Chain A
Amino acid sequence: MIEQHIVTYREEANELLAELETSLLELEENPTDEELIGRVFRAMHTIKGSGAMFGFDEVAQFTHEVETVFDLVRNGKMTVSKLLLNLTLRARDHIKSLLDASVSGEESDRAEGEAVIAGLKQLVPSSPNEPSPPPVQSQPAPDAEAETLKTWRIRFKPCPEIFLSGTKPLGLINELRELGTCHVVAHTAGVPVLNDMNPELCYIYWDIILTTARGMDAIKDVFIFIEDDCELKVDLIDDGGTGDTDLDYKKLGDILVERGDLSPMEIQKILGLQKRFGELAVAVGAITPDKVQSALVEQQHVKNVRQERATQESTSSIRVPAEKLDLLVNLVGELVTVQAHLSQTAALHGNTDFASIAEEVERLTNDLRDTALNIRMLPIGTTFSKFKRLVRDLSQELGKEIEMETEGAETELDKTVIERLNDPLVHLIRNSIDHGIEMPDVRLAAGKPAQGTVHLGAMHSGDSVLITIRDDGAGLDKEAIRAKAVERGIIAATAELSDKEIYNLIFAPGFSTAAKVTNVSGRGVGMDVVKKAIEGLRGSIDITTAQGTGSTITLKIPLTLAIIESLLVRIGPDYFVMPLSSVEECVELTRDNIEEAHGRHLANVRGAIVPYIPLRDQFSISANRPDIEQIVITNIHGTKVGFVVDSVIGEHQTVIKSLGRMYRDVRGISGATILGDGTVALILDMGLLLQSAEALEQGGVSSAAPM
């Protein structure tokens, strides 16, 4: 059971760390945003608090030190500086490494932690004798959070002789703080001038607004020993129920009346003046400013509590291990297959009752499939925020000024796709920063703002998602790419290439035009890896660029990897499927056509010459060739290529099964699927088929090879 909690804590801590990072980066842009500072503080506070609970003492201790500094920031005793943010980001990385170390059992880098702490301590403003005060605001233990949080107003007026009995009001207030989130306001209005004062009496009273999961009894227990020596009034002001969905709390005037500080008559009179209520109440002398202040604190406190509750309710969710989801999707995949079989059988039997049941099952299966796939959809924004950090760190390292913009962070993609997109995106963004964006002085000389921009966007487009990485840097240098490609022997010196073809050269293995190898990129291992990874996701990559004004790289990624719309074809006895997204049209290929082309694999489609690949030969399928074959014309990276098959069966919804390790070296086949009648059909990887066909053609009839 404890194990379970620890795992949950780790997950939560990692989420909090991600949030911490985002908040810190936002804070860099708005260093005075109190809400952000609060968010940073809360994230650390929670990491620390639950860390200590589950025995992550090192995490708790370290986080406490960092939190202390942010407590100063929160209380306005320190300002947010670049240095502070740098250190805090390092601290965040260190907390992460501490957490990771607790999993792997390795020793964490203690020196790094100490260095960060030392750096932070130096930042703390002068007053060296000021010990870092322990955070006074404690939050309710996590297990209590599940219960309803109620908010109470406590007016605590100790009898004047309270000090004489040795009671310390501060101790009582701190006990209340342990119950939950607490705002304390001391009223010092009663303190008289020196002549009228008995220095041993208490003239102060308190208003305390407390949000806690514990009840009235717990509050009263705090005051149990001085019950007779104080005036105590405890009122429930927010019952934590969902009935009060209104985020706004009571009006200031209502609070003051409820507290008995003002009468309704007085309120009416003041309201008649129609100005800001709090100032007015003070101005007419009806009330002292402290009471207004205290009421304002209550108003703010309850507003905060309600806001927090609203966000909690709207994001209420349950945690499910990813494997369970994968299992669900697998099962749904099998169900889709069985359902296809059922529909087929029903059609064969011609029994209308049977057919209608099969139709019903089909409808339900489709809904179930969509829902199951939807569960695995995650907003891509989580990945985006990681890149913000990357951009920040890299630009600092390279001495460039770069701002990162994101758009469409809410676009949803399959979880696995998002995970596998991470590395390619890192490569692309690094490239933009290193090769794309120029140094500030170069930019200014070119009449651009010193600060470069990297724009990362995501949007839906049919059954795919388009991800764009756009920079306003130098753009690709066509001549340099060409020269480099010739030098590397990738193209012949005389080759006639279109602009697009030249740009595509940067995806060739071992290609890099960077003059020097930097830490960031330039080793020439980036782009071809990116291309492979994107193709592995059945996606495509496209570059548009204008020299001097920047480049845009567009990735087109399918929404999900589990199920695709495809075209089912047959060659001899075997079935194959092709992803429908790249299929353009189907035309017939007769014996006469083949003879007309004199043995070359070229077809004349409405006047245009389209090269084709006879799959029958490619796969050495020896069954009898029919008189009329079909060419499935596809569009692969802008090139039209035909694939010749015996017959086209039709559209098919394909549940993708991987081939397993035994077949991982098979080229041209990306997976398999099970058809309704139980037959296995192979999924063709058209990009790779095209490549191997090109390789074959190299020595022979080169003109047939597209480019």
Chain B
Amino acid sequence: MMEQKACDPKRTADASARTLAIDGALTIERSGEFRQTLRDALAGAQQVVLDVTQVQEIDIPGLQLICSACKTAAAAGKVFTFAGHLPACLLELKDGIGACQNSPCSHNGNSSCIWFGGMK
């Protein structure tokens, strides 16, 4: 398997980070709204911490958005990370569709993905 690199220091947020808390269902019905929230958050801060611990439901569009936000942040040299642990529904979806954490992401200098697929 690919060699996995140590945690990129750019990806740990400090006290100045902006926390974005999402709860409930992160699904296609809310995807437009979620995209806008993420865009606003990333535009307004150097570091964004996404808190999805209270998310009860997530689908592939929701997952795609997180992935996309991560790439957006990487392109702009910003930090995008998560608070606490990933909720069960996200882990389940991640396993279900075969996207695994720690796989390398070309958008992030081939370092391993902290979210899921990382095959961006």
Q: How many pairs, one residue from A and one from B, have CB atoms within 8 Å of each other in the complex?
A: 136
Is A174 located at the chain interface by the 8 A CB criterion? yes
Q: Report the minimum CB–CB distance from A617 to chain B (whole Å).
A: 81
Is B15 located at the chain interface by the 8 A CB criterion? no
A170 and B60 contact, CB distance less than 8 A: yes
Q: Report the minimum CB–CB distance from B38 to chain A (whole Å).
A: 6
Is A222 located at the chain interface by the 8 A CB criterion? no
B96 and A173 contact, CB distance less than 8 A: yes
Is B28 located at the chain interface by the 8 A CB criterion? yes
Residues from chain A with a CB closer than 8 A to the CB of B72 are 193-195
Question: Which of B2, B61, B97, B118 touches A278 (beta carbons < 8 Å)?
Answer: B2
Bound Cα distance from A208 to B96, whole angstroms:
12
Q: Report the minimum CB–CB distance from A21 to chain B (whole Å).
A: 29
Bound Cα distance from A405 to B98, whole angstroms:
42
Indicate the member of A130, A183, A290 with the most B CB atoms within 10 Å: A290
What mask results when residues 49 to 73 of chain B are scored 1 for a CB within 8 Å of chain A, else 0?
Answer: 0000000000111001101110110
Is A188 located at the chain interface by the 8 A CB criterion? yes
With A170-B97, A186-B97, A290-B106 known, 20 other A-B pairs at CB within 8 A are A133-B95, A136-B96, A185-B98, A187-B117, A188-B117, A191-B64, A191-B120, A192-B71, A194-B38, A194-B72, A197-B64, A199-B34, A199-B61, A199-B64, A282-B110, A289-B104, A289-B110, A290-B104, A293-B103, A296-B1
What mask results when residues 156 to 187 of chain A are scored 1 for a CB within 8 Å of chain B, else 0?
Answer: 00000001000011100110000000011111
The 5 A-B pairs of least Cβ separation, nearest first, read: A184-B98, A290-B119, A199-B31, A130-B88, A188-B117
Question: Which of B28, B95, B119 touches A188 (beta carbons < 8 Å)?
Answer: B119
Q: Report the minimum CB–CB distance from A376 to chain B (whole Å).
A: 46
Q: Report the minimum CB–CB distance from B39 to chain A (whole Å).
A: 5
B30 — nearest CB in chain A belongs to which residue?
A199
B88 and A197 contact, CB distance less than 8 A: no
Q: Report the minimum CB–CB distance from B23 to chain A (whole Å).
A: 13
Q: Report the minimum CB–CB distance from A52 to chain B (whole Å).
A: 22
Chain B residues proximal to chain A, CB less than 8 Å: 1-3, 28, 31-32, 34-35, 38-39, 42, 59-61, 64-65, 67-69, 71-72, 75, 85, 87-88, 91-93, 95-99, 103-106, 110, 117-120
A200 and B31 contact, CB distance less than 8 A: yes
Q: Report the minimum CB–CB distance from B36 to chain A (whole Å).
A: 9
Residues from chain B with a CB closer than 8 A to the CB of A292 are 2
A129 — nearest CB in chain B belongs to which residue?
B88
Instruction: Please tell me the size bucket of the interface on A.
Output: 35 or more
A158 — nearest CB in chain B belongs to which residue?
B60
Bound Cα distance from A127 to B88, whole angstroms:
8
What mask results when residues 625 to 661 of chain A are scored 1 for a CB within 8 Å of chain B, else 0?
Answer: 0000000000000000000000000000000000000
Residues from chain A with a CB closer than 8 A to the CB of B32 are 199-200
Is A203 located at the chain interface by the 8 A CB criterion? yes
With A193-B68, A293-B104: A187-B3 Cβ-Cβ less than 8 Å: no
Question: Which of A136, A163, A282, A293 touches B61 (beta carbons < 8 Å)?
Answer: A163
Bound Cα distance from A541 to B60, whole angstroms:
70
Bound Cα distance from A206 to B98, whole angstroms:
8
With A169-B97, A186-B117, A293-B104: A194-B69 Cβ-Cβ less than 8 Å: yes
28 A-B contact pairs sorted by A residue (CB < 8 Å): A126-B85, A129-B87, A133-B88, A133-B95, A163-B59, A168-B60, A170-B93, A174-B96, A184-B98, A188-B64, A188-B67, A188-B120, A189-B120, A192-B68, A193-B75, A194-B39, A194-B72, A195-B39, A199-B32, A199-B34, A200-B32, A202-B64, A204-B60, A204-B97, A279-B2, A288-B119, A289-B105, A293-B1
B104 and A191 contact, CB distance less than 8 A: no
B98 and A208 contact, CB distance less than 8 A: yes
Question: Which of A169, A186, A195, A279 touches B3 (beta carbons < 8 Å)?
Answer: A279
Bound Cα distance from A219 to B39, whole angstroms:
40
